[in-house]
Amino acid sequence: MSKKNYLFHGDFVTARPEPGELTVYENAYALVRDGVLEEITLIKPSVGDDVIEVDWKGKLIIPAFSDVHLHAVQYVTTGLGYDKELLPWLTDYTFPEEARFAGRDYAARVFADLVYDLWSCGTLHSSIFSSINTDATVLLAEKLVGAGLSAYVGKVNMDRNGGIDLEETTEESIRETLRYLDLMAPFESSGVKPILTPRFAPSCTPELMRWLGDLSVKRKLPVQSHANENLDEIEWVKSLFPDSRDYMSVYHDFDLLPERGTVMAHCIYNTDEELEMMRERDILVAHCPASNANIASGIMPSTYMIDKGIRIGLGSDIGGGNRLFMGYHMSSAMKHSRLRWALTDRSSRIISFAEAFWMGTFAGGSFFGKTGALIPDYSFDALVIDDGRLSRYRPLDVLERLQRFIFVGDDRDIVARYRGGEFLPEPNVMVK
């Protein structure tokens, strides 16, 4: 289906490649050709008959959200077990739940809801952990394609420390990873792609890590994993990989940090050498503030890392994090930065609203191609916000309206979603 051309009218706000700066175009016009933004102008341009006009006058139009770290198979247990820390939470709640996804019916029901809710929340791009089960992973990819969403979907690799029901042998893990890559190939053109997903260093033997690293290099495959989330976890990694300098080096030593092709979740407790490694390889850090609070992990030093030039997106980290709406995570990132300042170092810098919005749109979006900002030459992936219920009392400026949507609003306020310029209809959630 060939793309159409559109002229959108509304109040636009966008982050830019540099954090800390938002641009507003009030009562403006965005010309989109073949799915790509050509320009935004304050004066209505004269366009030909090949351009369809779409009038969202008085509505906010913002870049679509990107959620760069979540676990699809924890959607049911989201909100449960937050009386525990990471490691007992994993063994008591998370691993037993993930084992249920060996059953196709269960997986189909949960994934249908998750994909619907991602759409509903305006999260048009996401980097997702599935389970070790290949068929469930492919089913999730199918549902994302069906909804028109873009995503990386990872079959989890886990050949140790998963418990009886959630472990593969190394040989199974290798065989299933290759099968998963074959089954994912047909989705590539739709924007749903595979990503190598060693769960975290303690879940994978060195043999499996070596094989995955070689595969990443050979096939130029991206990688997602976890690092430096919890102090006990870091000690555990040290004892499992005594030859690696630190946690990040474990992945590096196995060639699992492809340049500009890695999402690393959490990264709370980093050495300066690890930060330098992140910057140098242009790793996308998935900052997951809600999860890091729920299971008592800590607060990532976001401004310190931004100021070092590290790219930071936001992750809902469902089910460690408890809500999908990325506005919740932008506001959580701001709150936690302020708490870190108040509790540990009042000479440090707190993140601004503009930086939090940048994380959840531009920075996260950068993992999915030219998206995440309403700037020329970028894919027009956008949300239309009817903030009428939040701004009817007196005139607010466009930036104030955006702040109210992020802090006070939710998915109810999103009235349209566009990907590559095309309207994304409500997904069909009927389970086949």
Q: What is the DSSP string of 15-64?
A: E-SSTT-EEEEEEEEEEEETTEEEEEESSPPP--TTEEEEEEEEEEEEEP
Choosing from 404, 414, 418, 424, the residue that interacts with its own copies (CB under 8 A) is 404
Among candidate residues 353, 364, 423, 296, the one with its CA nearest the CA of residue 3: 423
Choosing from 21, 26, 53, 83, the residue that interacts with its own copies (CB under 8 A) is 83
Among candidate residues 81, 146, 133, 80, the one with its CA nearest the CA of residue 107: 133
166 binds its own copies (CB under 8 A): no
Choosing from 99, 295, 310, 385, the residue that interacts with its own copies (CB under 8 A) is 295
82 binds its own copies (CB under 8 A): yes
394 binds its own copies (CB under 8 A): yes
How many of the chain's residues bind its own copies (CB under 8 A)?
A: 46
Q: Which is closer to its own copies, CB of 176 or CB of 387? A: 387
Among candidate residues 144, 130, 136, 146, the one with its CA nearest the CA of residue 106: 136
Q: At closest approach, how far in Å is the CB of 191 from its own copies?
A: 27
123 binds its own copies (CB under 8 A): no
Distance CA 338, CA 343 (A): 9
Half-sphere exposure at residue 423, Cβ-oriented, CA atoms within 13 angstroms: 13
Instruction: For the chain, count helices (H), then strands (E).
Output: 15, 17
Q: Which is closer to its own copies, CB of 36 or CB of 350? A: 350
Candidates 4-12, 141-149, 279-287, 403-411 — which segment interacts with its own copies by CB under 8 A?
403-411
9 binds its own copies (CB under 8 A): no
User: What is residue 381's three-state secondary structure?
Assistant: coil
- Residues 347-376 touching its own copies, rule: CB under 8 A, are 350, 352-353
Distance CA 304, CA 289 (A): 15
User: What is residue 151's three-state secondary structure?
Assistant: strand
Q: Which is closer to its own copies, CB of 79 or CB of 186? A: 79
Q: Residues interacting with its own copies, by CB under 8 A?
A: 76, 78-80, 82-83, 100, 106, 109-110, 290, 293-299, 322-323, 331, 334-336, 338-344, 350, 352-353, 390, 392-394, 396, 400, 403-404, 406-408, 410
